Structures are given as C-alpha cells and as structure tokens.
C-alpha cells in the first residue's frame, strides 16, 4: 500500500515543536540587540507625562533619565533614539542646535550613565518649529512650502551639535532632498567623520504618525507633509530614494512605517543587500496593537512578536519600536 512520505522540511513541520527544535530550524530570530527604544525628552523638571494614545510611553525630563537608563541597561536594551520637546519653538528651530538643548543634554546624561548605550539622535526640525513642519517654511506663497535648501543648513548644524554632545549616530528624518550630503559634509568638516548617518530614506506620509505628534507636541498647524514625505501608493520610488541617499553617503537606511510597508522593506533590502536596514514600527502601529490588546481582542505578546518577526523576515536588520522594553522583558523570562 502507498504510504505518503513527506520531504524532510515538511516532516519537521509535523514534528512537535519543542523549544529546542524550533530554535534549531527557526529562520528569523528577534534578539534584544535588534531593538532600539525611542525616548521623548521634555525640557523642565520632574516630568513623566503619559502619552494618551501610547499607553506605557512617557515624556520624561532629564532628571528622570537615570531610572530610565538603568532599566534599559538591566533589560539589555543596547540602543535608544531621542526626540526632544524643547522649551521654545520658533520659525528657524534655533533651539535644536544649542549645546545646552534638551536632546544635547540628554545625550550627555545618558552617555555619563551608560557609556556603552548606543545613542541615536533624530535630526529634524518639526519639534522645534512653531508650525510643526519638518523644514523651514517660506511663507511668501501662502502655501506653507518648505524651503528645502535653507533647512539643510540648519540640519547640518543640528547634527554637528548632537555629535559634539556625544551621539553615536545621527538620523535625519525630515525627507529633505540632499540632507544626507549636507549632514555628511558638515560632520566631516567638524571632525566627526567617524559618526555614521542613519537616513530615514524611505518615509511615507502616513496616518500612523498621529500619536507621535501628540508625544512631541508637533501637530501640523496648516498644510500636509505630502511635498516631502512619500505617497503610500508608491514602492518603486522607494528604491530611488534609497539610491540617492546611498549615493550621498548614508551608512544605513530606514523604512518607515514598518508593518504596512513590508514589501518596501523587502525591496530595499534586495536592492541594497550590503547596507544595514532599519525599520521603524511607528506610534500608530504601537497604538493599534495596544488598543486591541487592552480590549482583550488579541494576545499582546504574541501579536507583538509576530509583528516584529514579519518586519525582520521582510529584510530589516534592526527595528525601532516602542515595544523594545516589553520585548526585552519577555525574552528574559
């Protein structure tokens, strides 16, 4: 009588997946050192404000950093990315370049507490500009058009200031044309040729950034970001964006958001296999999972791990995620 005998991989699937067997044949693995935790740094003192659409995330002031860094180190999180909520906003974002600015100070404090912690500084102007756009606005047209080239100067200055404070990596996120070249040039001239650039090369004009805008208090007053962020309908364009940034000298690439753009992550990795690729699981992705889990509709831990696996499986080498601490805790257990 004929007996169906599946090939080896199929037989493996039929076997009971003990942890050891699963680990042995698992193609994609989430490690703590793949994960970067975003931190929102508020100016002022004694601040630990919960962010309503991001349960478990807080704006914290510099004096609260010690506890935060301790817990990150204990959990084994090796990297953070910093966003600042400055005391003042203006039309040029000057506050972002000050040596005693909120991010610069946070960088110094973190490095003093944990010199091994990888500190990434997000380079953008939206937190520092009163209208909330990612670049300086030329109001002559009344269209809230971003002045790309004037913005580049300030971004280069900001990146240099973060490097001077001790940032390990600078991550321009504003999607200005030429930002990588401008920042590279500025860093090299200032003696920071050893500081790598992680470019948010492929950043979509996404509705998933909503909770973040609350977190850093930078809701747009007028206009939209479609003139500098990408149209969610386009994927081939992502390769051109990545190509330009690689040509300008970026050391790493990023795709953002992550979950709705797995195809883009995959294509960018295929096109640039030797460029380290990050993916940003953004605030809206976090909020959606949190909300469903809070209602008991999905199992939070399983959904989070599945989402991170999908992002890595698509081709990301590392992930910026607000779940970083939670995941590190689960992996420890």
Stretch that binds ligand PBG, among 4-12, 39-47, 118-126, 244-252 (CB under 6 A): 118-126
Is-cis flag, bond preceding 257, omega within 30? Answer: yes
- Give, as ranges, the residues between 289 and 328 that touch Zn ion (CB under 5 A): none
Stretch that binds ligand PBG, among 21-29, 122-130, 153-161, 294-302 (CB under 6 A): 122-130
CB 291 within 8 A of CB 266: no
CB-nearest residue to ligand PBG: 212
- Give, as ranges, the residues between 66 and 95 that touch ligand PBG (CB under 6 A): none
Gap between the Cα atoms of 169 and 187, Å rounded: 11
Smallest gap from residue 53 Cβ to ligand PBG (A): 10
Q: Give the tokens for residue 111.
A: 């490095």
- Find the binder of ligand PBG among 86, 135, 174, 278 (CB under 6 A): 174
Gap between the Cα atoms of 309 and 85, Å rounded: 31
CB 311 within 8 A of CB 265: yes
Catalytic annotation present for 269: no
Stretch that binds ligand PBG, among 16-24, 102-110, 119-127, 156-164 (CB under 6 A): 119-127
Catalytic annotation present for 256: yes
Q: Does 173 bind ligand PBG (CB under 6 A)?
A: yes
Gap between the Cα atoms of 133 and 225, Å rounded: 7
Cα separation values, 198 from 4, 159, 176, 195, Å: 51, 12, 14, 10
Q: What are phi and psi of 189, to 5 degrees?
A: -65, -25
Smallest gap from residue 253 Cβ to Zn ion (A): 18
Gap between the Cα atoms of 142 and 148, Å rounded: 16
Stretch that binds ligand PBG, among 84-92, 121-129, 233-241, 259-267 (CB under 6 A): 121-129
The one of Zn ion, ligand PBG, none whose footprint includes residue 171, by CB under 5 to 8 A per kind, is none
- Find the binder of Zn ion among 77, 85, 124, 156 (CB under 5 A): 124
Q: What share of the chain is helix, strand, coil (3-state, %, to 5)?
A: 45, 20, 35
Smallest gap from residue 158 Cβ to ligand PBG (A): 12
> Given the structure tokens 């953004």, which residue do they identify?
282
The one of ligand PBG, Zn ion, none whose footprint includes residue 241, by CB under 5 to 8 A per kind, is none
198-230 burial string, b = 16+ CB within 10 Å, else e? bbbbbbbebebbebbbbbbebeeeeeebeebbb
Q: Does 134 bind Zn ion (CB under 5 A)?
A: yes
Q: Which is nearer to ligand PBG, 209 or 323 (CB)?
A: 209
Would you give the binding string for Zn ion spanning residues 160-189, x where CB under 5 A is met? --------------x---------------
Stretch that binds Zn ion, among 116-124, 160-168, 223-231, 288-296 (CB under 5 A): 116-124
**DSSP assignment letter at 99:** T
Cα separation values, 276 from 34, 165, 207, 270, Å: 12, 25, 26, 12
Q: Does 134 bind ligand PBG (CB under 6 A)?
A: yes
Residues 6+ apart with CB under 8 A from 237: 230, 231
- Find the binder of Zn ion among 62, 126, 180, 319 (CB under 5 A): 126
From 256, 290, 312, 325, the catalytic residue: 256
- Find the binder of ligand PBG among 34, 95, 122, 245 (CB under 6 A): 122
Catalytic (active-site) positions:
203, 256
Footprint of ligand PBG (CB under 6 A): 122, 124, 126, 134, 173-174, 209, 212, 282-283
Footprint of Zn ion (CB under 5 A): 124, 126, 134, 174
């Amino acid at each position: 009588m004929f007996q169906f005998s599946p090939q080896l991989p199929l037989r493996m699937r039929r076997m009971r997946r003990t942890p050891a067997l699963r680990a042995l044949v698992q193609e994609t693995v989430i490690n703590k050192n793949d994960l970067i935790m975003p931190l929102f740094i508020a100016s002022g003192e004694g601040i630990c404000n919960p962010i309503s659409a991001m349960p478990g995330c807080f704006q914290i002031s510099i004096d609260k950093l010690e506890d935060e860094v301790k817990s990150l180190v204990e959990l084994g999180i090796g990297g953070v990315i910093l966003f600042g909520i400055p005391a003042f906003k203006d039309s040029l974002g000057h506050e972002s370049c000050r040596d005693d600015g909120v991010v610069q100070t946070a960088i110094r404090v973190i490095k003093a507490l944990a010199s091994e912690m990888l500190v990434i500084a997000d380079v953008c102007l939206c937190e520092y500009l009163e209208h909330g756009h990612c670049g300086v606005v030329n109001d002559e047209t009344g269209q809230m058009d971003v002045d790309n080239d004037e913005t580049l100067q300030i971004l280069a200055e900001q990146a240099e200031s973060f490097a001077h404070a001790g940032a390990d990596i600078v991550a321009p996120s504003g999607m200005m044309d030429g930002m990588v070249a401008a920042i590279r040039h500025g860093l090299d001239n200032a003696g920071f040729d050893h500081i790598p650039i992680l470019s948010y090369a492929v950043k979509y004009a996404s509705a998933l950034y909503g909770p973040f805008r609350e977190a850093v208090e930078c809701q747009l007053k007028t206009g939209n970001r479609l003139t500098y962020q990408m149209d969610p309908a386009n994927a081939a364009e992502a390769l051109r964006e990545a190509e330009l940034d690689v040509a300008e000298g970026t050391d790493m690439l990023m795709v953002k958001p992550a979950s709705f753009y797995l195809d883009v992550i995959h294509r960018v990795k295929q096109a640039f296999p030797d460029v380290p690729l990050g993916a940003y699981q953004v605030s809206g992705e976090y909020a959606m999972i949190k909300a469903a889990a809070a209602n008991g509709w999905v199992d939070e831990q399983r959904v989070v791990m599945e989402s991170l696996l999908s992002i890595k499986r698509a081709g990301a080498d590392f992930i910026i995620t607000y779940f970083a601490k939670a995941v590190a805790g689960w992996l420890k257990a």
